[in-house]
Amino acid sequence: AQSVTQLGSHVSVSEGALVLLRCNYSSSVPPYLFWYVQYPNQGLQLLLKYTSAATLVKGINGFEAEFKKSETSFHLTKPSAHMSDAAEYFCVVMDSNYQLIWGAGTKLIIKP
Amino acid sequence: DAGITQSPRYKITETGRQVTLMCHQTWSHSYMFWYRQDLGHGLRLIYYSAAADITDKGEVPDGYVVSRSKTENFPLTLESATRSQTSVYFCASSEEGGQPQHFGDGTRLSIL
């Protein structure tokens, strides 16, 4: 069965610094990978989606993620953090039955 | 407006009572989903539906009942609420099985 591991329940970066949120999936290659973002007291919004068309996926708000099969990783990055990026980020795998398997989430904290 | 709406946004009830959470989408999406979100667990799938009159269990279905008589509605019922069902519940929909899911704003349910 698919599983997703997000490294670090909390990540703190300074405003303007690089954002790196780590995600590893289980060994079998999933058909789809996603990153979702949840702002405080809100629902979940799709940030980006990997569908095997390209290993580097660009999403909204300047985020991107790179699929690395050899490392079973799908890390999320943003070159320069903004205060408005403070939120919780979820790495998600879609299995062969189209069900979503969610990571536990990483809270991104932006320091002024 | 088009989208997915959940009601109520907040609900407090007592153990043993029946509670129904409503979900309505205006996109005519085939798939609909119910998740619960608890600290440290990310989102966990309760039930999903691939079409009207077709429902299936997810990861944590015990204590919940769903129905889907119309494509646009997917209510979730807790037949006899327990404290362990205190959580935030999210409804989602997707056009097809492999497409990203769109989420409602959630229902915060507290069971005393």
**What pLDDT score was predicted for residue A28?**
72
Mark yes or no for CB contact B42/A103 under 8 Å.
Answer: yes
Q: Is pLDDT at B79 greater than 80 in this prediction? A: yes
* CA pair distance A63, A2, nearest whole angstrom: 24
Q: Which of residues 64-103 of A touch B (CB under 8 A)?
A: 90, 94, 98-100, 102-103
**CB distance A112 to A12 below 8 Å:** no
The predicted-structure confidence for B60-72, as pLDDT tens digits, reads as follows 999 999 999 999 9
**What pLDDT score was predicted for residue A66?**
94
The predicted-structure confidence for A25-83, as pLDDT tens digits, reads as follows 986 766 689 999 999 878 899 999 988 778 899 999 999 999 998 899 999 999 999 99
**What pLDDT score was predicted for residue A97?**
75
For an interface test with B, which of A48, A102, A106, A107 has the most B Cβ atoms less than 10 Å from its Cβ? A102
B44 close to A (CB below 8 A): yes
Q: Which residues of B touch A99 (CB under 8 A)?
A: 45, 48, 58
**What pLDDT score was predicted for residue A63?**
97
The predicted-structure confidence for B40-64, as pLDDT tens digits, reads as follows 777 899 999 999 999 999 989 999 9
B58 close to A (CB below 8 A): yes
**CB distance A25 to A19 below 8 Å:** no
**What pLDDT score was predicted for residue A27?**
62
**CB distance A26 to A91 below 8 Å:** no
